[in-house]
Amino acid sequence: MTRTTISLHYSTLDKVRELSRHEHITLGEAITELLNLGLGLKKNRFQRNKNSFSLKSFSMGQPKVPLEDKEAISNLLDEG
């Protein structure tokens, strides 16, 4: 396990200490558990957003010219 120093707001530290006492785990274990839970939620939210991309589509009606007719398309574009 890696040792590191983190800075927590005193109110957050109090809550984590309370959790660690309640769960009978060390402060480091409580922080690790909370971070893993938070990171898991963040990952799930990212995956949902990543997979939910969609484009809105709508009907444009019937084409003004047959789309296979290159000359008709060219003439239509030249008019515009």
2 has a pLDDT exceeding 80: yes
10 vs 43, more confident:
10
Residue 67 DSSP one-character state: T
Whole-number pLDDT of residue 16: 96
- Assess whether pLDDT exceeds 70 at residue 13: yes
- Residues 77/67, Cβ–Cβ less than 8 Å: no
Q: Would you list the domain boundaries of the chain?
A: 8-52
Structure token pair of residue 73: 């398309």
Q: What is the mean pLDDT of the chain?
A: 86
